[in-house]
Structure 1
Amino acid sequence: MADANYVRFNKRLRDIDSKHRKLSRGYVQLVERDGLLVPVSTRRTARRGFPFRGLLLTLAGFLVFKAVLLTHLGPITYGERVEKLAGGTTLEQAGAWVMRADPITMWITRQIGLQLDALS
């Protein structure tokens, strides 16, 4: 029985220390409905994980960039430039592979073209 109480007591101490560390970085006092002041940490803890949202936004931006480039240059000129890249060094060949007109880019290009037709 005494060991269980000791374990619970130590857990409560760890929780208090943890809360104290969080609040020592900055806090505000919130007033609850019953008038009780409750300290709440103002800083968020940094998320640790892979930034999937940033990766998806970067990919979407790159696809839109390719589509705008394809719309601006036209499919023939764009294709010629990608073929010219494909005949270069290994790095240029990788760039040609990335810049090739894939189905998603073609779809975005058609959408941009429809928008431009509507504006004319």
Structure 2
Amino acid sequence: MSINTDFDKRVGHVVRTHDRIRRNGVVHRVGKDGLIRARPRVARPRFPLRAILIVMLLGLAFKGVLWAQIGPVGYAERVEKLRTGTTVERVGAWLMQPEGVTVWVGGQLRPYLRR
């Protein structure tokens, strides 16, 4: 045990706070006494909402292109073929089933893709 236990605790607190500031960033606040204090930004786990949204939109666009390229009858036949397969193929059939967005995107792209 050291003579300067309180001092060591304060230094440890300052070092931990500084490490959190370096890791998460800093927020400056003006106190009631007029001093500007630097506090560590609260680190919250970030959910990749933007990435998930982009993947979903790309998936819908892909399904629309397939629907436009193959046609509604061919697309339905291929989805039915997947529906009778293994578990992974059934999940793929569930994901690839045409819904309103797929049909709309496919209808918009069909004049450009189908010859």
In which range does the TM-score fall when normalised by the shorter chain? 0.5 to 0.7
Letter in 2 for 1:104: V
Q: Structure 1 length normalisation: TM-score?
A: 0.58
Structure 2: segments with no counterpart, 5+ residues: 1-9, 24-42
Relative to structure 1, the CA distance from residue 107 to residue 23 in structure 2 (aligned partners, 3 Å threshold; closer, same or farther) is: same
Please say if residues 69 and 110 of structure 2, whose CA atoms lie closer than 8 Å, have aligned partners that are also in contact. no
Q: CA RMSD in A?
A: 3.3
Percent identity, please: 38
Equivalent pairs, count? 87
SS at match of 1:66: helix
Relative to structure 1, the CA distance from residue 49 to residue 81 in structure 2 (aligned partners, 3 Å threshold; closer, same or farther) is: same
> Which has the higher relative contact order, 1 or 2, with Cα contacts under 8 A spaced 6 or more apart?
2
Does structure 1 residue 94 correspond to structure 2 residue 91? yes
Q: Aligned equivalents of 1:100 and 1:92: distance in 2?
A: 12
Match of 2:80 in 1: 83
**1:1-120 matches, cutoff 5 A:** 14=13, 17=15, 18-19=17-18, 21=19, 48-113=45-110, 116=112
SS at match of 1:88: coil
Q: Aligned equivalents of 1:24 and 1:88: distance in 2?
A: 53
Q: Aligned equivalents of 1:62 and 1:24: distance in 2?
A: 38
